[in-house]
Structure 1
């Protein structure tokens, strides 16, 4: 999605024609370590009229000169060129300020079966994203803080939710989004008014995160996408804010360690009615 979002915003800025991406992916590691979501991306999106599709796509790719994305940024691209976008370098930075464009276009191309979060009239105010699957269990707290793709202790999520509830003075309801098993999530799921959410796919769950009013995040780009798309106030584990994602209220994006207090805005956003 990083590649697509960079391409989308560059095309908008330069008045380029979009070619429908090749979304399909197969990575054996995902099948071995993440049975919840193999991330093949084969059934998530449908193209709109904005994109070059069908037989025209291979014809465009075969007939025109390809230039790398970096070259296109630094040089004038001649008409008829194909600009190639790859990878997730700089993550959200290239399109951070184009948030509305990216979110709107993602909803336009998402297949209807992945939009279940928008049909739920009683979505829990708090979303908790617990990443397990392909994340590694580190041997020390320092390793968790300093190493990417680290599994966070389930106790951190539990205490973060308890701290939020203490700040609001009530058992605010929460949805848990996770690729972990019920046994792994048991300490969370045993808390009152905590339920597991499942909107049918990774994309559906990501959009569910985006609709929440407060996100207790894992240290993953999945959590980052949920926070970015919905501009959701987010609580991160220490060491896990990789980029600032919130535009209007960057102060609503914090790292929180077990035992710390929480700023007043946490209660404010959960106790006050959201702006319609």
Structure 2
């Protein structure tokens, strides 16, 4: 995606705010990648609607705890995106020094940086703009391990940082039981009309445990090198078996395919319903 600063020299600059402080090459710790995409996506949409320049964000964050705990994924995000171009650095610098206005208060002024932060209304704010976000990801994310060919079922089993709940009110961050995933896989096979579909597994849990619990034999394991490439890979599935996470929602938003969701999940709070595509189980 080409820089937009050749189209404007006076802004507005559409600035995703990902952390409290940001010095261009590194920023203070912030949310996970799935949640960081929301202000980035709204800034992309703002640039399309209002003109001006999109400010390429700083993704690398300062992180010590993951190193101290010896975690495999240090979540510093420094190798996820390509570096800024010269024009993008100029846009970033201009956005730091000009007047700032929050996205909800912006009324079409020039010469200002429009700040986009937080989750807002999740995917309700992004409806109808998936092609813009997808094009930016294709241009920006380092693509080691990217899968560009379609396959049958993308299975997202989220375990590691999700809690088990005995008083389920339909919220996010709840771990689904393996019995639900087994039933969802059967429903996905039924939707596709394929007895032995090609399945790619996406999980933060132990792969051997997950495949054993689900009775899977030699599934394809997501080969991505970072979470944004993994979202792209999941978006290539013809049907997604989704967890209660924004990771699954991003893939479904970008891919537009049928998805199977937990029937107790309050999906509408985050994700606009799609008639005939969203299946509850």
Q: TM-score range by the shorter chain?
A: 0.7 to 0.9
Partner of residue 268, structure 1: none
Match of 2:228 among 203, 212, 218: 203
Match of 2:135 among 89, 104, 123: 104
Using the size of structure 2 for normalisation, the TM-score is 0.76
Per-residue CA deviations over 1:141-187 (Å, capped at 9, x if unaligned) read: x42x5232001111211121134335636122211101111243133
- Alignment CA distance shift 1:124-1:193 (3 Å): farther
Q: How far off is 1:29 after superposition?
A: 7.3
Consecutive unaligned residues in structure 1, runs of 5 or more: 257-276
For 2:69 and 2:253, the matched residues in 1 are separated by 26
Match of 1:80 among 104, 111, 116: 111
For 1:129 and 1:36, the matched residues in 2 are separated by 19
Match of 1:14 among 40, 46, 50: 50
Per-residue CA deviations over 1:10-66 (Å, capped at 9, x if unaligned) read: 1111012122112223567777999464433222222576x9533x25631343111
Consecutive unaligned residues in structure 2, runs of 5 or more: 1-36
- Is 1:226–1:232's contact at 8 Å kept on the other side of the alignment? no
Partner of residue 237, structure 2: 212
Match of 1:59 among 79, 93, 98: 93
Give the count of matched residue pairs: 242
- RMSD of Structure 2 on Structure 1 (CA): 2.8
- Alignment CA distance shift 1:158-1:20 (3 Å): same
The structure carrying a bigger helix percent of its residues is: 1
Per-residue CA deviations over 1:203-230 (Å, capped at 9, x if unaligned) read: 2211111000000000000000000111
Partner of residue 69, structure 1: 103
- Is 2:235–2:251's contact at 8 Å kept on the other side of the alignment? yes
For 2:47 and 2:155, the matched residues in 1 are separated by 34
